Amino acid sequence: MLSDKIVLITGAGSGIGQSLALAFAREGARVAVNDVAPERVAATVALVTQAGGAAVAAPFDIANFDAVATAVQPLEQGQGRIDVLVNNAAVLAGHVPFLETRPADNDREIKVILYGTLHCSRAVLPGMIARRSGKLVNIATDAARVGQEREVVYSAAKGGVISFTKSIAREVGRHNINVNAVSPSATDTPLRRKILDDMATKIGADAVREREDKVRRAYPLRRIGEAEDVARAVLFLASDAARHITGQILSVNGGFAMPG
């Protein structure tokens, strides 16, 4: 269902974004791999190519609209179009209480998560509107839906992404464009593993294992999510199977939260 589609994925240099790139490539899509770090872009492109998929490098800083516009125009011209945009890139400056965060770090989180989503959407939507076809899938978080201590600004920025998803879906639906979001909970990514490693340094490995056991018990499915779980949901929303779904927030969370 996604064969020959052109898909731009932000933050695809590692973690969930990298899994998304590989998943779309397996489905026959041509993937434009974005990340602010060219070396991470190159690593993901290499993985996709080694797996037999098709990928092109698209390194640029989504927090800077001029950089986005400058990069997206030749990308569209070179590939012919962008069929799917996955706004995945995010920054978590630190896992600390809000009053211990720095305003400069807060600013970066908001610029990458919220403004990055706005910038990339602004760049690709005109082409989708002209073709009367397109899919936007935004990566949110259940931390924005239910609240999360020590991730306050990250959660706030993702909350903006959720609101943007619903609002822009109302504006562009008349052009046959679907806009949805996938909202994960705790997911086993390099970022999460780093947080746990830092925590182990402070409180000890045994205490971290006990904490993780407690976290898993909070999930009805008794497991921490994996990047592949998120990728499968994104593939569905980007496919024609989801043609009558728009403005929705799909939690992929093992039942941790069940918002109405």
Provide, rounded to the nearest whole percent, the portion of the chain with pLDDT above 70.
98
| Residue at 166 is within a domain | yes
The enclosing domain of 125 has a CATH number of 3.40.50.720
Give the separation between CA 55 and CA 6, rounded to whole angstroms.
Answer: 9
Q: Say if CB 123 and CB 72 are below 8 A apart.
A: yes
Q: Is 247 left (phi over 0), alpha (psi -120 to 50) or beta?
A: left
- Does residue 75 lie within any of the structural domains? yes
Rounded to an integer, the average pLDDT of 66-79 is 97
Cα 152 versus chain centre, distance = 18
- Asked if the structure places residue 105 within a domain, the reply is yes
Sheet containing 84-87: order of strands: 54-59, 30-35, 6-9, 84-87, 134-139, 177-184, 249-252
For the segment 148-199, what is each residue's pLDDT rounded down to a tens digit? 999 999 999 999 999 999 999 999 999 999 999 999 988 787 777 677 677 7
pLDDT higher than threshold 90 for residue 209: no
pLDDT at 116 over 80: yes
Environment class of 3 (CB within 10 Å of its CB; exposed 0-12, middle 13-18, buried 19+): exposed
State the sign of the Cα–Cα–Cα–Cα dihedral 59, 5, 23, 121. Answer: positive
Check pLDDT > 80 for residue 211.
no
Name the nearest CA neighbour of 186 among 104, 106, 256.
256
- Name the domain count of the chain: 1
**Residue 239: strand, helix, or coil:** coil
Look at residue 59 and tell me if it is in a domain: yes
| Tens of pLDDT, residues 4-54 | 999 999 999 999 999 999 999 999 999 999 999 999 999 999 999 999 999
Of the candidates 154, 235, 242, 251, the residue annotated as catalytic is 154
Separation between Cα atoms, residue 115 and residue 215, nearest integer Å: 31
Q: Write down the pLDDT at residue 186.
A: 81
Q: How many angstroms separate the CA atoms of 242 and 227, rounded?
A: 21
Whether 64 has a pLDDT exceeding 70, the answer reads yes
DSSP string, 10-68: TTTTSHHHHHHHHHHHHTT-EEEEEESSHHHHHHHHHHHHHTT-EEEEEE--TT-HHHH
Residue 28 within a domain: yes
Q: How many CB atoms lie within 10 A of CB 27?
A: 16
Domain span at residue 113? 6-186+226-252
Cα–Cα distance between 83 and 101 in angstroms, integer? 38
Q: Which band of pLDDT confidence, cut at 50, 70 and 90, is reported for residue 208?
A: low
Alpha carbon distance 222, 212 (integer Å): 11
User: Per-residue pLDDT for 69 more than 80?
Assistant: yes
d(CA 167, CA 48): 34
| Helix, strand, coil percent values for the chain (each to nearest 5) | 55, 15, 30
Residue 154 is among the residues annotated as catalytic for this protein: yes
What is the distance between the alpha carbons of residues 111 and 255, in angstroms, rounded to a whole number? 30
- Statement: residue 127 has pLDDT above 90: yes
